[in-house]
Structure 1
Amino acid sequence: MIFTDAIISAAQKHAREAYPQESCGIVVGGQYMRCRNIAEDPLQDFAIHPADYKNAIRTGKMQAIIHSHPNGPLHPSQADMIGQMKSDLPWAIIPLDEDRMGQPIIWGDDDNIPPLLGREFVSGVTDCFALIRDVFRLGKEGCAAQGIDWPLAPHLISEQPRDPNWFETGKDLYVDGMAGENFVEVPASDVRPGDVFLLKWHSDKLNHGGVLLTQDTIAQHFPGRLSRREPAGIWARHAEMWIRHVGKPNA
């Protein structure tokens, strides 16, 4: 376990002392190493001092990166998601305001996928796209271990860095973002377990999706709700597009 209580406590103390600026640090050898934030606007961003980064490399194997979000947001930004992917390390955000310290927001740790059902909605971490992606990468056996029927072998769908309002900014997470992921559109009359449904939710773009687990049940995750398994009927009727993965599975 990378994000131990001691590491989170040390990162929270650093975040409080740096407030209202963003703090940043690196987990190395099971310890939290404070770093200097040299961003042009440390109230809104962070950039680790090169000397601190080099020192971390000399000290040992880097395990994670942690930074704070003073006064929010309570989710990673698109820039945070891009940074995490480039680092190839798990990241954590320490959210805080003048009085309160929130629970850390952790993502990018592929060895610790949160339970598929009953998870809270956090944009970019546990949202509707993340649920689809996690079902596919867990595959049949991984889903079965959680009591969930799923017919397909594990397959890794590429992560898509995103902000919560991506569908209002010209980005198309599902149609464009998944274009190279070997999905093809299938008619509603031909859907089967393992397919993905897409619909427009208060938007003119396909901005919500879920998976067909069995012929009668789906799994999905809406903002403000816990992820859940539901009867397929009403959602199947509202689906505006069904897509199916036709490539080879991978681990």
Structure 2
Amino acid sequence: MIKKTLGAIRAHAESCYPRECCGLVIVVKGKERYVPCENAAVGDEHFLISCEAYANAEDLGQVIAVVHSHPNMPAQPSEADLVSCEASGLPWHIVRVDQIDGNPVAGEFNTIAPSGYCAPLVGRQFFHGILDCYTLIRDWYQIERGITLPDFKRSDEWWNDGQSDLYTQGFPLAGFEIRPHEQEPEQGDVILMQIRSKNSVPNHAAIYLGDGLILHHLHGRLSSRDVYGGYWQEITRAVLRYRGNDGSSENDTAVRQAGG
């Protein structure tokens, strides 16, 4: 990376503090250039580059890297950084920013690149839209059955917006059908649950592993295996079984990273 690009990244990171900055490195007519992007995320603990901003950068030149900052944190990649870097297929540059003598100062700089990283099914951190209950189901189906489920754009707290019913609508598009509620679930079935949803719709999903166990990922917790009974059965709203998808769903998820 040339000095001019690095300087532009550091300046942008300092100007966005205490929020995370985000941007893209592009090549225009053989010259490197940094394109700062607006952080479209809600809150201060993650960043979101919108599809429109990404497309605008592509109109200018070839995108060769993703950039974001870690305010008051080391420039070491989080688990979500590693997963998102793999999904983007691009190198990621991370810059640390700290407040020193009352002023934001960019410091440590780190670069990661796609290397085949896959988050473990059990013990992964939660970052909505990147590492959440639906991501866990997608990864389980890819690892255990070689099936690639479509991804869906998931806005933060969609279950409280007064209208969305993402899981009820989305899982049929991914090839799942509702099973009779009285039937015992089979390994690989998806169990839809409702947890404090203002929309009164299912907003949590688990994979049934067999032998009375589920694999799931709750907001704010590590992914885990738990016994399917008691509370989990009480909040169950539907059991779905994969039957295959005769269509494809376009993945319109923006470049996103949550939790630093």
- Residue 160 of structure 1 and its aligned partner are, at CA, apart by 1.0
- Residue 179 of structure 1 and its aligned partner are, at CA, apart by 2.5
CA offsets 1:93-112 (integer angstroms, 9 cap, x no match) = 858665399999x99x6942
- Residue 205 of structure 1 and its aligned partner are, at CA, apart by 1.3
- Residue 89 of structure 1 and its aligned partner are, at CA, apart by 3.7
Counterparts of residues 203-218 of structure 1 (less than 5 Å): 203=197, 204-218=200-214
1:168 is aligned to 160
- Residue 239 of structure 1 and its aligned partner are, at CA, apart by 1.3
- Residue 225 of structure 1 and its aligned partner are, at CA, apart by 0.9
CA offsets 1:87-130 (integer angstroms, 9 cap, x no match) = x64585858665399999x99x6942211110111111111111
- Residue 224 of structure 1 and its aligned partner are, at CA, apart by 1.5
2:184 is aligned to 190
1:35 is aligned to 34
1:132 pairs with 2:124: no
The two structures have a TM-score, normalised by structure 1, of 0.63
Is the 2:35–2:57 Cα contact (8 Å) retained in structure 1? no
Q: In the alignment, residue 233 of structure 2 is paired with which amino acid?
A: A
1:126 and 1:40 map into 2 onto residues whose CA distance is 19
> Which consecutive unaligned segments of at least 5 residues does structure 1 have?
1-5, 140-152
Q: In the alignment, residue 26 of structure 1 is paired with which amino acid?
A: V
1:199 is aligned to 193
- Residue 13 of structure 1 and its aligned partner are, at CA, apart by 9.2
- Residue 217 of structure 1 and its aligned partner are, at CA, apart by 0.9
1:25 and 1:209 map into 2 onto residues whose CA distance is 34
Q: 1:190 to 1:91 in 2, by over 3 A?
A: farther
1:114 is aligned to 119
> Which consecutive unaligned segments of at least 5 residues does structure 2 have?
41-46, 73-77, 247-260
1:147 is aligned to none
Is the 1:27–1:65 Cα contact (8 Å) retained in structure 2? no
2:149 and 2:79 map into 1 onto residues whose CA distance is 21
- Residue 37 of structure 1 and its aligned partner are, at CA, apart by 2.2
Counterparts of residues 217-236 of structure 1 (less than 5 Å): 217-234=213-230, 235-236=232-233
2:38 and 2:185 map into 1 onto residues whose CA distance is 49
Is the 1:11–1:25 Cα contact (8 Å) retained in structure 2? no
Is the 2:173–2:245 Cα contact (8 Å) retained in structure 1? no
- Residue 156 of structure 1 and its aligned partner are, at CA, apart by 1.1
Q: 1:34 to 1:89 in 2, by over 3 A?
A: same
